[in-house]
Amino acid sequence: MALTGVEIFKLLPKTNCKKCGYPTCLAFAMKLAQRQASLDACPDVSEEAKQKLGEASAPPVRPITFGTGDGAVKMGEETVLFRHDKKFVNPCAFALEIKDTLSEDAVNAKLDEVLNAEIERVGQKLRIDAIALSNDSHDIGKFEAAAKIIAQKAPGLPVIICSDNPGAAEAAVKLFSDRKPIIFGANTANADAMADIAKNYKATLGVTASGGGLDALSSLTEKIKSLGVQDMVIDSGARTAKDILKDNTFIRRAAIKKNFKPLGYPVITFAIREDSLLEALIGTIGVAKYSSIIVLSSIEKWKNLALFTLRQNLYTDPQVPMQVEQKIYKIGEPSPASPLLITTNFSLTYFIVSGEIENSKVSTYLAVMDCEGLSVLTAWAAGKFTAAKIAQFIKESEIENAISHRELVIPGYVAILSGSIEDKLEGWKITVGPRDANGIPAFMRARAG
Ligand code: SF4
């Protein structure tokens, strides 16, 4: 059970030294109870208190990383039921199922699909994150052979080894022992053997209730924990949209609201359907409602785009606008005579404006000014995109050393600023550009003659 603020307070040094950043030990204790502070912030807490508080202050959904290097997937650490309460922390991963009954060519083709699935959207690289190798053949040799192809061809991809046969699981997991894999398929019948394999190969264990419901799942995770395995992902066995929604919500509520440790693990959801559209729909339920891994049977560009976009939108911090770095961006291969445009650093604004400049095929310098991620009109209204600030940014950017002219094109929405910018940027001519980005290509082509 979670400790109350007062219970936590009793275990703290009670010196009110403020080293933790809070005015009193009680204030710090209250933040710990709400999981808005970390015990590490108090340097004077005793070892005994650390032990007692460690469990209570641990994130309600256990943090787990699977895979290594750039492709590693972080899961868990969630603290809220609703994104608007704070934010969702670790975006869910998508995994493509590869069956060991496929031919070598077919396995290679699936791997190529995954390796080529990455797209860039508003500056973020979005991709299919993992492979889920399933032992459909029930043949250890075939399973191991398929695992070998994956290990050789896609060394950077995180892998989920799906088999409830400990012999098959061990044959495959050996090939990924240095890659933090997941072994999925621990159940009441094989828990001891699967726990041993997970421990030996430092793998996360995927635990399934096999239709036994959430009570059975809780008992199983407790048993596996007592066998020495800490890192687990859990599957309630739900496969219909309604059951996935119901079970995932129950699991998250139990973890967050009740601090119920037996269900405080990332959830894996199998969205697999023959009908790709239905599979995409089931996937969206997993994205929206608490799945940390969603296993798909096929990937297609339209499906990826829908799932990636939903994931990206839900896993951004609602309190922090998406923004790009303040600097002068080169679009194309600008020369000293190339035009200079300015806009704000809201990601969407930057990507739309830069995209339209690319469409114009006119090489350009684009000055992107830090306005705390606000769009042009909002930044102007908030006093962050003003004549004085624009003039200061242009001077400090040293763009004057790169261009042979002194003309700055400002967005049409802030035409009102043109005179005052000219006053502050001596020797510069301010030109008012189009109000909307889609007017940029025609504007640029007309200027280029
Ligand atoms: Fe209390 Fe520790 Fe914070 Fe000091 S650092 S005020 S002892 S909780």
Q: What is the pLDDT of residues 186-239, one digit of tens each?
A: 999 999 999 999 999 999 999 998 778 999 999 999 999 999 999 999 999 999
The pLDDT, as a whole number, for residue 210 is: 76
Spacing, Cα 51 to ligand 1 middle (Å) = 17
> Whose Cα sits closest to atom 3 in ligand 1?
20
> Whose Cα sits closest to atom 8 in ligand 1?
25
- Strand 124-126 and strand 340-344: pairing? unpaired
Provide the 8-state DSSP code for 2. Answer: P
Q: Which atom of ligand 1 is nearest to the CA of 13?
A: 7
Mean predicted confidence (pLDDT) in 304-324:
89
- Strand 182-186 and strand 204-208: pairing? parallel
- Max CA distance (Å), the chain: 81
Q: Which of 10, 14, 16 to mutate for ligand 1's pocket (most ligand atoms within 8 Å of CB)?
A: 16
Measured between alpha carbons, how far is 157 from 168 in angstroms, rounded to an integer? 20
Mean predicted confidence (pLDDT) in 164-179:
96
User: 53 or 44: whose pLDDT is higher?
Assistant: 44
Least confidently predicted of 116-125, 156-165, 341-350: 116-125
State the distance between the two ends of the chain, measured CA to CA, in whole angstroms: 72
Mean predicted confidence (pLDDT) in 327-347:
95
User: 132 or 35: whose pLDDT is higher?
Assistant: 132
Measured between alpha carbons, how far is 186 from 194 in angstroms, rounded to an integer? 6
pLDDT tier, 1 (very low <50, low <70, confident <90, very high otherwise): low
What percent of the chain shows pLDDT beyond 70? 99
Q: Which atom of ligand 1 is nearest to the CA of 12?
A: 8
pLDDT tier, 309 (very low <50, low <70, confident <90, very high otherwise): very high
The pLDDT, as a whole number, for residue 37 is: 79
User: Torsions phi, psi of 176, nearest 5?
Assistant: -125, 20
Q: Which of 6, 9, 11, 12 to mutate for ligand 1's pocket (most ligand atoms within 8 Å of CB)?
A: 12
Q: Which of 240, 266, 257 is nearest to 95 (CA)?
A: 266
The pLDDT, as a whole number, for residue 246 is: 97
Q: Which of 9, 14, 17 to mutate for ligand 1's pocket (most ligand atoms within 8 Å of CB)?
A: 17
Q: What are the tokens at 224?
A: 């596996």
Residues with CB under 6 A from ligand 1: 12-13, 15-20, 22, 25, 28, 42, 44
